[in-house]
Structure 1
Amino acid sequence: MRSWTSALLAPVLLLAALATPAPSAAGDPDWVFYTSDKTRYTSPWFAGAHRIMIPFGCTRAPYYSPDPRCADGRGFHHGIDVAMPCGTTLRNRYWARVVGNDALGPAYGATPVVLRNRKRGFDLVIGHTRRVRVEPGDRLKPGTVFARASDDGAPDGCHLHFEKRSVGGGLATATWPRRLLRLQAAG
Protein backbone atom coordinates (compact mmCIF):
# COMPACT_ATOMS: atom_id res chain seq x y z
CA MET A 1 0.00 0.00 0.00
CA ARG A 2 2.81 2.37 0.84
CA SER A 3 4.40 2.10 -2.64
CA TRP A 4 1.01 2.75 -4.31
CA THR A 5 0.49 6.06 -2.43
CA SER A 6 4.10 7.03 -3.00
CA ALA A 7 3.66 6.44 -6.72
CA LEU A 8 0.54 8.64 -6.77
CA LEU A 9 2.07 11.39 -4.64
CA ALA A 10 5.41 11.57 -6.49
CA PRO A 11 4.03 13.54 -9.49
CA VAL A 12 2.05 15.84 -7.17
CA LEU A 13 5.14 16.53 -5.04
CA LEU A 14 7.23 17.14 -8.18
CA LEU A 15 4.67 19.65 -9.51
CA ALA A 16 4.55 21.40 -6.13
CA ALA A 17 8.34 21.64 -6.07
CA LEU A 18 8.41 23.09 -9.58
CA ALA A 19 5.70 25.65 -8.74
CA THR A 20 7.46 26.84 -5.58
CA PRO A 21 10.22 29.38 -6.25
CA ALA A 22 13.50 27.96 -5.03
CA PRO A 23 15.89 30.14 -3.07
CA SER A 24 18.32 31.59 -5.55
CA ALA A 25 21.91 32.68 -5.29
CA ALA A 26 20.86 35.42 -7.72
CA GLY A 27 18.94 37.15 -4.93
CA ASP A 28 15.48 38.19 -3.91
CA PRO A 29 12.76 36.48 -6.00
CA ASP A 30 10.81 39.78 -6.03
CA TRP A 31 13.58 41.72 -7.79
CA VAL A 32 12.56 43.23 -11.10
CA PHE A 33 15.21 45.08 -13.11
CA TYR A 34 14.13 47.98 -15.31
CA THR A 35 17.50 48.36 -16.99
CA SER A 36 19.59 46.27 -19.35
CA ASP A 37 22.69 47.09 -17.27
CA LYS A 38 23.83 43.81 -15.68
CA THR A 39 26.96 45.35 -14.13
CA ARG A 40 27.50 44.83 -10.41
CA TYR A 41 28.60 48.01 -8.71
CA THR A 42 30.47 48.70 -5.50
CA SER A 43 30.16 51.86 -3.45
CA PRO A 44 31.57 53.21 -0.21
CA TRP A 45 27.91 53.56 0.85
CA PHE A 46 27.09 49.83 0.94
CA ALA A 47 28.72 46.43 1.40
CA GLY A 48 29.19 44.14 -1.59
CA ALA A 49 28.64 44.54 -5.32
CA HIS A 50 25.09 44.92 -6.60
CA ARG A 51 23.02 45.67 -9.71
CA ILE A 52 20.94 48.74 -10.37
CA MET A 53 17.22 47.90 -10.51
CA ILE A 54 15.87 51.26 -11.62
CA PRO A 55 18.22 53.99 -12.87
CA PHE A 56 17.72 57.73 -12.47
CA GLY A 57 15.47 59.35 -15.08
CA CYS A 58 12.78 58.15 -17.43
CA THR A 59 11.79 54.57 -16.75
CA ARG A 60 9.35 51.89 -17.84
CA ALA A 61 8.90 50.82 -14.20
CA PRO A 62 5.14 50.89 -13.58
CA TYR A 63 5.26 52.75 -10.24
CA TYR A 64 5.56 56.26 -11.65
CA SER A 65 2.95 58.51 -13.27
CA PRO A 66 3.60 59.64 -16.83
CA ASP A 67 6.00 62.57 -16.87
CA PRO A 68 6.23 65.24 -19.61
CA ARG A 69 10.04 64.84 -19.62
CA CYS A 70 9.66 61.25 -20.79
CA ALA A 71 8.53 59.71 -24.08
CA ASP A 72 5.84 57.06 -24.48
CA GLY A 73 4.07 57.93 -21.23
CA ARG A 74 6.97 56.76 -19.09
CA GLY A 75 7.46 57.96 -15.55
CA PHE A 76 10.45 59.68 -13.98
CA HIS A 77 12.50 58.04 -11.22
CA HIS A 78 14.23 60.62 -9.01
CA GLY A 79 16.92 58.31 -7.65
CA ILE A 80 18.77 55.05 -8.21
CA ASP A 81 17.48 51.76 -6.80
CA VAL A 82 20.23 49.25 -6.07
CA ALA A 83 19.20 45.63 -5.51
CA MET A 84 20.84 44.02 -2.50
CA PRO A 85 19.94 41.40 0.08
CA CYS A 86 17.95 42.52 3.10
CA GLY A 87 20.31 43.41 5.91
CA THR A 88 23.13 44.70 3.72
CA THR A 89 25.17 47.22 5.73
CA LEU A 90 24.84 50.91 4.86
CA ARG A 91 27.63 53.39 5.70
CA ASN A 92 27.91 57.10 5.01
CA ARG A 93 30.76 58.32 2.84
CA TYR A 94 30.91 61.94 3.99
CA TRP A 95 30.42 63.88 7.19
CA ALA A 96 26.68 64.37 7.47
CA ARG A 97 23.89 65.43 9.77
CA VAL A 98 20.74 63.34 9.98
CA VAL A 99 17.64 65.44 9.24
CA GLY A 100 13.94 64.67 9.64
CA ASN A 101 12.10 62.55 7.10
CA ASP A 102 8.59 63.89 7.84
CA ALA A 103 8.10 65.28 4.32
CA LEU A 104 8.70 61.89 2.68
CA GLY A 105 5.78 59.67 1.78
CA PRO A 106 5.26 55.93 2.32
CA ALA A 107 6.98 55.03 -0.96
CA TYR A 108 10.34 55.35 0.87
CA GLY A 109 9.33 52.87 3.59
CA ALA A 110 8.63 53.49 7.27
CA THR A 111 12.16 54.57 8.26
CA PRO A 112 13.93 56.39 5.41
CA VAL A 113 17.11 58.26 6.30
CA VAL A 114 17.95 61.78 5.14
CA LEU A 115 21.59 62.84 5.39
CA ARG A 116 22.66 66.46 4.86
CA ASN A 117 26.08 67.82 3.99
CA ARG A 118 25.93 71.60 3.58
CA LYS A 119 29.60 71.90 2.58
CA ARG A 120 29.11 69.57 -0.40
CA GLY A 121 25.60 70.92 -1.01
CA PHE A 122 23.38 67.85 -0.83
CA ASP A 123 20.66 66.02 1.02
CA LEU A 124 20.74 62.28 0.39
CA VAL A 125 17.42 60.50 0.82
CA ILE A 126 17.86 56.77 1.39
CA GLY A 127 14.67 54.73 1.20
CA HIS A 128 13.82 51.17 2.26
CA THR A 129 16.10 51.06 5.29
CA ARG A 130 15.74 49.08 8.50
CA ARG A 131 17.62 48.79 11.76
CA VAL A 132 18.22 52.52 11.59
CA ARG A 133 20.77 53.47 14.24
CA VAL A 134 20.49 57.25 13.90
CA GLU A 135 17.92 59.96 14.51
CA PRO A 136 17.49 63.57 13.41
CA GLY A 137 20.21 65.79 14.82
CA ASP A 138 22.90 63.08 14.89
CA ARG A 139 26.21 63.98 13.23
CA LEU A 140 27.92 61.14 11.40
CA LYS A 141 31.55 60.77 10.49
CA PRO A 142 32.52 58.93 7.30
CA GLY A 143 32.27 55.14 7.55
CA THR A 144 29.57 55.09 10.23
CA VAL A 145 27.15 52.16 9.89
CA PHE A 146 23.73 53.80 10.20
CA ALA A 147 21.17 51.39 8.71
CA ARG A 148 20.61 48.22 6.68
CA ALA A 149 18.82 47.46 3.41
CA SER A 150 15.19 46.35 3.55
CA ASP A 151 12.12 45.73 1.43
CA ASP A 152 9.91 48.00 3.57
CA GLY A 153 7.69 50.02 1.24
CA ALA A 154 9.24 48.31 -1.80
CA PRO A 155 7.03 46.30 -4.16
CA ASP A 156 10.02 44.73 -5.89
CA GLY A 157 12.16 43.20 -3.16
CA CYS A 158 15.08 44.28 -1.01
CA HIS A 159 16.99 47.27 -2.27
CA LEU A 160 18.07 50.77 -1.35
CA HIS A 161 16.78 53.92 -3.02
CA PHE A 162 19.34 56.75 -3.21
CA GLU A 163 18.05 60.21 -4.10
CA LYS A 164 20.31 63.27 -4.19
CA ARG A 165 18.55 66.59 -3.55
CA SER A 166 19.72 70.14 -2.95
CA VAL A 167 20.07 71.11 0.72
CA GLY A 168 16.56 71.46 2.13
CA GLY A 169 15.10 70.89 -1.34
CA GLY A 170 12.13 68.79 -2.31
CA LEU A 171 11.62 66.13 -4.95
CA ALA A 172 11.84 68.71 -7.76
CA THR A 173 15.50 69.35 -6.85
CA ALA A 174 16.55 65.69 -7.27
CA THR A 175 19.60 65.19 -9.49
CA TRP A 176 21.66 62.28 -10.78
CA PRO A 177 23.13 60.59 -7.64
CA ARG A 178 25.65 58.30 -9.28
CA ARG A 179 28.73 60.50 -8.71
CA LEU A 180 27.79 61.03 -5.04
CA LEU A 181 27.47 57.26 -4.57
CA ARG A 182 30.85 56.65 -6.25
CA LEU A 183 29.47 53.61 -8.09
CA GLN A 184 32.25 51.57 -9.65
CA ALA A 185 31.99 48.40 -11.72
CA ALA A 186 33.11 45.41 -9.65
CA GLY A 187 36.26 43.81 -11.03
Structure 2
Amino acid sequence: MSVPAVPSSGGPIVSPGSAAAIIDADPTADLYPQPPVDPAVTPQARQVAALTDIQHRIQYLNNILTRTRADLTRVQRDPDPVLQLLTALTTGVAPASDPDSAATLATVDSVDAVDTATGRAAALSGAITSGQTELARRQREETRLRQEIERRARLATAIPQPAGNPASYRGGRLSSPLSGRLTSRFGTRFDPYYHVWQLHAGIDLAAATGTPILAAAGGRVTRAGWYGGYGNYTCIDHGRADGQRLSTCYGHQSKLLVSPGQQVRAGQVIGRVGSTGASTGPHLHFEVRLGGRPVDPLPWI
Protein backbone atom coordinates (compact mmCIF):
# COMPACT_ATOMS: atom_id res chain seq x y z
CA MET A 1 0.00 0.00 0.00
CA SER A 2 1.13 3.55 -0.52
CA VAL A 3 2.26 5.59 2.46
CA PRO A 4 0.78 9.09 2.75
CA ALA A 5 3.08 12.07 2.51
CA VAL A 6 4.77 12.91 5.79
CA PRO A 7 3.39 16.08 7.38
CA SER A 8 5.84 18.79 8.37
CA SER A 9 5.52 18.12 12.12
CA GLY A 10 5.72 15.05 14.35
CA GLY A 11 8.81 13.45 12.83
CA PRO A 12 9.30 11.41 9.65
CA ILE A 13 8.38 7.80 9.01
CA VAL A 14 11.38 5.50 8.96
CA SER A 15 11.31 3.84 5.56
CA PRO A 16 11.24 0.02 5.45
CA GLY A 17 14.45 0.12 3.44
CA SER A 18 16.35 2.04 6.13
CA ALA A 19 14.89 0.17 9.13
CA ALA A 20 17.30 -2.77 8.80
CA ALA A 21 20.33 -0.44 8.81
CA ILE A 22 19.04 1.37 11.89
CA ILE A 23 18.49 -1.91 13.73
CA ASP A 24 21.86 -3.21 12.55
CA ALA A 25 23.53 -0.19 14.18
CA ASP A 26 21.37 -0.44 17.32
CA PRO A 27 19.27 -3.60 17.73
CA THR A 28 17.23 -1.88 20.49
CA ALA A 29 16.40 1.22 18.42
CA ASP A 30 12.82 2.50 18.56
CA LEU A 31 11.45 2.89 15.03
CA TYR A 32 8.34 4.52 16.51
CA PRO A 33 8.67 7.72 18.58
CA GLN A 34 7.95 7.32 22.29
CA PRO A 35 6.27 9.92 24.54
CA PRO A 36 8.24 11.20 27.55
CA VAL A 37 8.18 9.00 30.66
CA ASP A 38 7.90 9.92 34.34
CA PRO A 39 10.68 9.15 36.85
CA ALA A 40 10.25 5.63 38.23
CA VAL A 41 9.96 6.62 41.91
CA THR A 42 7.34 4.13 43.16
CA PRO A 43 7.71 0.34 43.38
CA GLN A 44 4.98 -0.04 40.73
CA ALA A 45 6.71 2.42 38.40
CA ARG A 46 10.03 0.62 38.84
CA GLN A 47 8.36 -2.65 37.84
CA VAL A 48 6.97 -1.11 34.67
CA ALA A 49 10.36 0.48 33.87
CA ALA A 50 12.06 -2.89 34.42
CA LEU A 51 9.57 -4.54 32.07
CA THR A 52 10.33 -1.98 29.36
CA ASP A 53 14.07 -2.59 29.79
CA ILE A 54 13.63 -6.37 29.52
CA GLN A 55 11.44 -6.02 26.42
CA HIS A 56 14.11 -3.92 24.73
CA ARG A 57 16.67 -6.59 25.68
CA ILE A 58 14.42 -9.22 24.08
CA GLN A 59 14.15 -7.02 20.99
CA TYR A 60 17.95 -6.77 20.92
CA LEU A 61 18.43 -10.54 21.22
CA ASN A 62 15.86 -11.29 18.52
CA ASN A 63 17.47 -8.86 16.08
CA ILE A 64 20.97 -10.17 16.83
CA LEU A 65 19.78 -13.77 16.38
CA THR A 66 18.10 -12.88 13.07
CA ARG A 67 21.32 -11.32 11.80
CA THR A 68 23.48 -14.21 13.07
CA ARG A 69 21.25 -16.83 11.44
CA ALA A 70 21.50 -14.92 8.15
CA ASP A 71 25.30 -14.86 8.50
CA LEU A 72 25.31 -18.60 9.18
CA THR A 73 23.22 -19.29 6.07
CA ARG A 74 25.67 -17.29 3.94
CA VAL A 75 28.70 -19.06 5.42
CA GLN A 76 27.14 -22.48 4.87
CA ARG A 77 26.83 -21.66 1.16
CA ASP A 78 30.56 -20.82 0.86
CA PRO A 79 32.96 -23.57 -0.33
CA ASP A 80 35.39 -24.62 2.39
CA PRO A 81 38.72 -26.04 1.06
CA VAL A 82 39.52 -27.71 4.39
CA LEU A 83 36.14 -29.42 4.45
CA GLN A 84 36.62 -30.48 0.82
CA LEU A 85 40.01 -31.95 1.72
CA LEU A 86 38.64 -33.86 4.70
CA THR A 87 35.91 -35.25 2.48
CA ALA A 88 38.51 -36.32 -0.09
CA LEU A 89 40.68 -38.01 2.53
CA THR A 90 37.78 -39.99 3.94
CA THR A 91 36.29 -40.99 0.57
CA GLY A 92 39.48 -41.38 -1.42
CA VAL A 93 38.31 -38.85 -4.01
CA ALA A 94 40.49 -35.78 -4.49
CA PRO A 95 38.68 -32.44 -4.63
CA ALA A 96 38.17 -31.25 -8.19
CA SER A 97 39.74 -27.93 -7.29
CA ASP A 98 42.93 -29.63 -6.01
CA PRO A 99 43.91 -32.88 -7.77
CA ASP A 100 47.15 -33.09 -5.84
CA SER A 101 45.66 -34.01 -2.43
CA ALA A 102 49.13 -34.72 -1.01
CA ALA A 103 50.19 -31.15 -1.74
CA THR A 104 46.98 -29.85 -0.24
CA LEU A 105 47.45 -32.00 2.83
CA ALA A 106 50.87 -30.45 3.36
CA THR A 107 49.24 -27.05 3.71
CA VAL A 108 46.51 -28.07 6.13
CA ASP A 109 48.59 -27.40 9.20
CA SER A 110 49.09 -23.81 8.07
CA VAL A 111 45.39 -23.13 7.64
CA ASP A 112 43.67 -21.39 10.52
CA ALA A 113 40.56 -23.54 10.90
CA VAL A 114 38.63 -20.71 12.57
CA ASP A 115 39.07 -18.63 9.42
CA THR A 116 37.38 -21.23 7.26
CA ALA A 117 33.70 -21.52 6.44
CA THR A 118 33.47 -24.52 8.74
CA GLY A 119 35.14 -22.65 11.60
CA ARG A 120 32.97 -19.57 11.11
CA ALA A 121 29.86 -21.75 10.93
CA ALA A 122 30.80 -23.41 14.21
CA ALA A 123 31.36 -20.02 15.88
CA LEU A 124 28.07 -18.66 14.58
CA SER A 125 26.20 -21.80 15.65
CA GLY A 126 27.64 -21.42 19.14
CA ALA A 127 26.58 -17.76 19.26
CA ILE A 128 23.05 -18.72 18.21
CA THR A 129 22.82 -21.37 20.93
CA SER A 130 24.07 -18.91 23.54
CA GLY A 131 21.68 -16.20 22.33
CA GLN A 132 18.70 -18.56 22.41
CA THR A 133 19.51 -19.52 26.00
CA GLU A 134 19.71 -15.87 27.04
CA LEU A 135 16.52 -15.06 25.13
CA ALA A 136 14.61 -17.83 26.92
CA ARG A 137 15.84 -16.52 30.28
CA ARG A 138 14.76 -12.97 29.48
CA GLN A 139 11.38 -14.18 28.25
CA ARG A 140 10.79 -15.98 31.54
CA GLU A 141 11.72 -12.81 33.38
CA GLU A 142 9.35 -10.79 31.18
CA THR A 143 6.50 -13.25 31.85
CA ARG A 144 7.01 -12.97 35.61
CA LEU A 145 7.00 -9.17 35.56
CA ARG A 146 4.02 -8.96 33.23
CA GLN A 147 2.00 -11.25 35.46
CA GLU A 148 2.76 -9.10 38.49
CA ILE A 149 1.91 -5.87 36.62
CA GLU A 150 -1.30 -7.41 35.29
CA ARG A 151 -2.24 -8.54 38.81
CA ARG A 152 -1.86 -4.96 40.02
CA ALA A 153 -3.84 -3.73 37.01
CA ARG A 154 -6.73 -5.99 37.98
CA LEU A 155 -6.64 -4.52 41.49
CA ALA A 156 -6.48 -0.98 40.14
CA THR A 157 -9.47 -1.52 37.85
CA ALA A 158 -11.49 -3.16 40.63
CA ILE A 159 -11.31 -0.26 43.10
CA PRO A 160 -13.32 2.89 42.16
CA GLN A 161 -11.57 6.18 42.85
CA PRO A 162 -13.23 9.23 44.48
CA ALA A 163 -15.34 11.20 42.03
CA GLY A 164 -13.63 14.36 40.83
CA ASN A 165 -13.51 15.89 37.38
CA PRO A 166 -16.10 13.97 35.33
CA ALA A 167 -13.58 13.88 32.48
CA SER A 168 -11.04 11.80 34.41
CA TYR A 169 -10.32 8.24 35.46
CA ARG A 170 -12.40 7.17 38.46
CA GLY A 171 -11.38 3.53 38.64
CA GLY A 172 -12.87 0.46 37.04
CA ARG A 173 -12.02 -1.04 33.71
CA LEU A 174 -11.34 1.13 30.68
CA SER A 175 -13.86 0.95 27.86
CA SER A 176 -12.81 -0.66 24.61
CA PRO A 177 -12.17 2.06 22.00
CA LEU A 178 -14.00 0.00 19.36
CA SER A 179 -15.30 -3.51 18.81
CA GLY A 180 -12.74 -4.58 16.19
CA ARG A 181 -11.03 -7.97 15.97
CA LEU A 182 -7.75 -8.31 17.88
CA THR A 183 -5.04 -8.86 15.25
CA SER A 184 -1.81 -8.22 17.17
CA ARG A 185 -0.98 -8.33 20.86
CA PHE A 186 1.31 -6.29 23.08
CA GLY A 187 4.98 -7.30 23.24
CA THR A 188 8.05 -7.85 21.08
CA ARG A 189 7.15 -9.02 17.58
CA PHE A 190 8.48 -9.16 14.02
CA ASP A 191 7.14 -5.86 12.74
CA PRO A 192 5.02 -6.38 9.59
CA TYR A 193 5.90 -2.95 8.20
CA TYR A 194 9.61 -2.63 9.00
CA HIS A 195 10.46 -6.38 8.85
CA VAL A 196 12.63 -6.27 11.98
CA TRP A 197 11.98 -7.23 15.60
CA GLN A 198 10.39 -4.33 17.46
CA LEU A 199 8.47 -3.75 20.69
CA HIS A 200 4.76 -3.51 19.86
CA ALA A 201 3.64 -1.02 22.51
CA GLY A 202 -0.08 -1.78 22.29
CA ILE A 203 -2.68 -3.95 20.62
CA ASP A 204 -4.10 -3.77 17.10
CA LEU A 205 -7.85 -3.86 16.50
CA ALA A 206 -8.97 -4.37 12.90
CA ALA A 207 -11.77 -2.11 11.69
CA ALA A 208 -12.88 -0.43 8.48
CA THR A 209 -11.51 2.98 7.57
CA GLY A 210 -13.68 5.65 9.12
CA THR A 211 -14.90 3.54 12.06
CA PRO A 212 -15.41 5.83 15.12
CA ILE A 213 -12.75 5.61 17.84
CA LEU A 214 -14.05 6.14 21.37
CA ALA A 215 -12.15 7.52 24.36
CA ALA A 216 -11.48 4.63 26.76
CA ALA A 217 -12.08 6.96 29.74
CA GLY A 218 -12.54 10.64 30.43
CA GLY A 219 -9.52 12.91 30.60
CA ARG A 220 -7.43 15.62 28.96
CA VAL A 221 -5.96 15.29 25.48
CA THR A 222 -2.18 15.66 25.73
CA ARG A 223 -1.29 14.85 22.13
CA ALA A 224 -3.23 14.95 18.88
CA GLY A 225 -1.31 15.11 15.61
CA TRP A 226 1.16 13.33 13.41
CA TYR A 227 3.72 11.26 15.35
CA GLY A 228 6.16 9.49 13.06
CA GLY A 229 5.32 5.83 12.40
CA TYR A 230 2.13 6.15 14.46
CA GLY A 231 0.65 8.46 11.82
CA ASN A 232 -2.23 10.44 13.27
CA TYR A 233 -1.91 9.78 16.99
CA THR A 234 -3.89 10.88 20.05
CA CYS A 235 -3.02 10.48 23.73
CA ILE A 236 -5.36 11.17 26.65
CA ASP A 237 -4.28 11.65 30.29
CA HIS A 238 -6.81 10.03 32.65
CA GLY A 239 -5.27 10.90 36.02
CA ARG A 240 -3.47 8.47 38.31
CA ALA A 241 -3.87 4.72 38.72
CA ASP A 242 -1.69 2.26 40.63
CA GLY A 243 0.42 5.24 41.75
CA GLN A 244 1.22 6.35 38.19
CA ARG A 245 -0.09 8.62 35.47
CA LEU A 246 -2.55 6.62 33.34
CA SER A 247 -2.95 7.46 29.67
CA THR A 248 -4.32 5.85 26.54
CA CYS A 249 -3.07 6.45 23.01
CA TYR A 250 -4.63 5.78 19.59
CA GLY A 251 -2.57 5.43 16.39
CA HIS A 252 -2.91 5.30 12.57
CA GLN A 253 -6.11 7.38 12.52
CA SER A 254 -7.52 8.66 9.25
CA LYS A 255 -8.98 11.72 11.01
CA LEU A 256 -8.42 13.44 14.35
CA LEU A 257 -11.51 14.91 16.05
CA VAL A 258 -9.91 16.38 19.19
CA SER A 259 -7.07 18.77 19.94
CA PRO A 260 -4.41 19.07 22.68
CA GLY A 261 -5.75 20.46 25.96
CA GLN A 262 -9.34 19.44 25.25
CA GLN A 263 -11.31 17.62 27.96
CA VAL A 264 -13.12 14.52 26.71
CA ARG A 265 -15.59 12.18 28.34
CA ALA A 266 -15.56 8.39 28.32
CA GLY A 267 -17.04 7.05 25.08
CA GLN A 268 -16.65 10.31 23.18
CA VAL A 269 -15.67 9.93 19.51
CA ILE A 270 -12.10 11.24 19.28
CA GLY A 271 -11.14 10.14 15.77
CA ARG A 272 -11.62 7.71 12.89
CA VAL A 273 -9.83 4.47 12.04
CA GLY A 274 -7.28 4.71 9.25
CA SER A 275 -3.94 3.42 8.01
CA THR A 276 -1.63 6.43 8.37
CA GLY A 277 2.04 6.14 9.27
CA ALA A 278 3.82 2.77 9.38
CA SER A 279 0.70 0.70 8.76
CA THR A 280 -0.11 -2.20 6.44
CA GLY A 281 -3.90 -1.75 6.49
CA PRO A 282 -6.77 -0.02 8.31
CA HIS A 283 -6.80 -0.69 12.05
CA LEU A 284 -6.54 1.01 15.42
CA HIS A 285 -3.29 0.75 17.35
CA PHE A 286 -4.36 1.17 20.99
CA GLU A 287 -1.99 1.70 23.93
CA VAL A 288 -2.27 1.93 27.71
CA ARG A 289 0.66 3.71 29.36
CA LEU A 290 1.62 4.03 33.03
CA GLY A 291 3.96 6.94 33.67
CA GLY A 292 4.40 7.15 29.91
CA ARG A 293 5.61 3.54 29.65
CA PRO A 294 3.54 1.01 27.66
CA VAL A 295 1.82 -1.91 29.37
CA ASP A 296 -0.48 -4.59 28.01
CA PRO A 297 -3.91 -2.97 27.41
CA LEU A 298 -5.89 -6.23 27.67
CA PRO A 299 -6.01 -6.41 31.52
CA TRP A 300 -7.32 -2.83 31.55
CA ILE A 301 -10.21 -3.07 29.09
TM-score range, shorter chain: 0.5 to 0.7
C-alpha distance in 2 between matches for 1:141 and 1:94: 6
Q: 1:90 aligns with which of 202, 213, 225?
A: 213
What is the deviation of 1:95? 1.4
Residues 81-119 of structure 1 show CA distances to partners (whole Å, capped at 9, x for unaligned) of: 1111111111113111000357x741111x210111113
What is the deviation of 1:77? 1.0
1:46 touches 1:90 (CA, 8 Å); kept in 2? yes
Check 1:82–1:99 CA distance in 2 against 1; reply closer, same or farther (3 A cut): same
Does residue 1:108 correspond to 2:213, yes or no? no
If each structure's strand is expressed as a fraction of its own residues, which one has the higher value? Answer: 1
Largest Rg, 1 or 2: 2
Residues 14-44 of structure 1 show CA distances to partners (whole Å, capped at 9, x for unaligned) of: xxxxxxxxxxxxxxxxxxxxxxxxxxxxx94
C-alpha distance in 1 between matches for 2:279 and 2:195: 16
Partner of 1:85: helix, strand, or coil? Answer: coil
- Give the alignment of 1:19-58 within 5 angstroms: 44-48=175-179, 50-58=180-188
Partner of 1:59: 189
2:218 touches 2:265 (CA, 8 Å); kept in 1? yes
Does residue 1:164 correspond to 2:288, yes or no? yes
Does residue 1:179 correspond to 2:179, yes or no? no
C-alpha distance in 1 between matches for 2:192 and 2:211: 26
1:44 touches 1:93 (CA, 8 Å); kept in 2? yes
2:221 touches 2:263 (CA, 8 Å); kept in 1? yes
Check 1:166–1:152 CA distance in 2 against 1; reply closer, same or farther (3 A cut): same
1:64 touches 1:77 (CA, 8 Å); kept in 2? no
Partner of 1:128: helix, strand, or coil? Answer: strand
Does residue 1:151 correspond to 2:263, yes or no? no
What is the deviation of 1:64? 5.6
Q: Which amino acid aligns with 1:61?
A: D
Check 1:175–1:65 CA distance in 2 against 1; reply closer, same or farther (3 A cut): farther
Partner of 2:40: none
Q: CA RMSD in A?
A: 2.4
Partner of 1:179: helix, strand, or coil? Answer: helix
C-alpha distance in 2 between matches for 1:52 and 1:92: 18
TM-score normalised over the length of structure 1? 0.58
Partner of 1:3: none
Percent of residue pairs identical: 29
Partner of 2:23: none
2:216 touches 2:248 (CA, 8 Å); kept in 1? no
Partner of 1:125: 249
1:87 touches 1:148 (CA, 8 Å); kept in 2? yes
C-alpha distance in 2 between matches for 1:133 and 1:97: 14
If each structure's helix is expressed as a fraction of its own residues, which one has the higher value? Answer: 2
Partner of 2:102: none
1:83 touches 1:159 (CA, 8 Å); kept in 2? yes
What is the deviation of 1:58? 2.1
C-alpha distance in 2 between matches for 1:147 and 1:80: 17
1:46 touches 1:88 (CA, 8 Å); kept in 2? no
C-alpha distance in 2 between matches for 1:106 and 1:129: 12
C-alpha distance in 1 between matches for 2:224 and 2:178: 24
C-alpha distance in 1 between matches for 2:253 and 2:297: 18
